[in-house]
A = this chain, B = another copy of it.
Amino acid sequence: MIVVMEENAGEALVQRVIDRMVDLEFTVHRSTGLVHTVLGGVGPEDRIDPKEFEVMEGVKEAHRIISPYKLANRHFRPGGTVVKVGKVEIGGSEMVLMAGPCSVESREQIRRCASIVAEAGGRVIRGGAFKPRSSPYSFQGLGEEGLQMMREAADEFGLLVISEVMDSTQIPLMVRYADILQVGARNMQNFNLLRELSKIRKPVLLKRGIAATIEELLLSAEYLLSGGNYEVILCERGIRTFETYTRNTMDISAIPVVHKLSHLPIVADPSHGTGRRDQVIPMARAAVAAGADGLLVEMHPDPDRARSDGAQSLRPEQLTELAQQLRVIASAVGRTL
């Protein structure tokens, strides 16, 4: 922690800050400059918010210098983490394609999806069984039945299953059917859920909240890691900005930034990131060009009849075409698909 005093802060104020730092178990090093006195503190920075010092009289600003996340930090595993699920490696040389419908709607629908995904070179099928909907009047998902249908379809076509868990009570059920458990953007800071997921032995895909900084995303990952689950995959899916043409603004730069700050793999979800089918393909290409370790894409055999998020679901032939373009782009960044 570094605390910079105001230029006119007298000795008494400086001493009060030092006392408070010592109280909080910091070892303090004082440096008196021409203009500002600067106090450096070594101590429990991960638990103390610099704002605590910034509101003290005579303090100009305070900065944390140790990252608040430790296990998610790249220093913890400089070589990077590869999450292995069955034969699939996320964070390795393959750019892993995960696709499927927003919601599982019927046995036939999810079977067709699985067939299309497998043919396009995808490795994982996605599909919602429990849906977080902003309106209580919208379709809320098929529940366990949906999970069963998805598992069957995945097994038939040699795919893995990823599905969203909305609540800690759903974990036991989800673990039975899914290979990767997804935490949605709205739950990125549902700390009780994260704590429960840290105890399971299945990979978790953690989506960035629409108003979450990259640091907050890594802090939420820290909940999972510190509880013992190291199989964590991050996901950029768009943040909220003033622009209204797209549902969210996909922050492609989060991909290289996460790769710099953390050892965890990061995938991109251009479907939620844009909310519009006509933007999904260019943004999927952009994510791979920026170094994404995988893609999570919504696709529906008949998007116009989808029960949710049809507007952002690709048609089957679009997924195939996209996969072809991605192969070329992946090669430019030293990867395969």
Contact = CB atoms under 8 A, between A and B. Distances in A.
Interface of A: 2, 4, 6-8, 20, 23, 29, 31, 33-36, 38, 40, 42, 46-47, 49, 51-52, 54-56, 60-61, 63, 65-69, 75, 132-139, 166-169, 186-187, 189-192, 195, 209-211, 213-216, 219-220, 222-223, 226-227, 239-247, 249-257, 260-261, 273-279, 282-283, 285-291, 304-305, 309-312, 325, 328-329, 331-333
A253 B249 contact: yes
What is the oligomeric copy number? Answer: 4
A35 B66 contact: yes
Nearest to A313: B55
A166 B192 contact: yes
Contacts of A246: 253, 257
Contact of A290 (B134, B189, B239, B286): B286
A337 to B, nearest CB: 12
Contact of A213 (B215, B243, B247): B243
B244 A213 contact: yes
Contacts of A211: 209-211, 240, 242
A249 B247 contact: no
A279 B251 CA distance: 12
Contact of A311 (B54, B67, B312): B54
Given A253-B250, A290-B282, A134 B216 contact: yes
Given A132-B189, A186-B189, A282-B290, 5 more contacts: A244-B244, A252-B286, A288-B289, A328-B329, A332-B332
A-side interface mostly: mixed
Q: Which of A134, A136, A210, A245 has the most CB of B within 10 A?
A: A136
Nearest to A284: B289
Contacts of A38: 2, 40, 65
Contacts of A191: 132-133, 136, 166
A242 B243 CA distance: 7
Contacts of A213: 242-245
Contacts of A247: 51
A308 B195 CA distance: 20
Nearest to A138: B47
Contacts of A243: 213-214, 239, 251, 254
A55 B285 contact: no
B279 A257 contact: yes
Nearest to A194: B136
8 contacts: A29-B31, A33-B40, A51-B247, A134-B216, A239-B249, A249-B253, A256-B283, A328-B329
A46 B6 CA distance: 16
Contacts of A310: 52
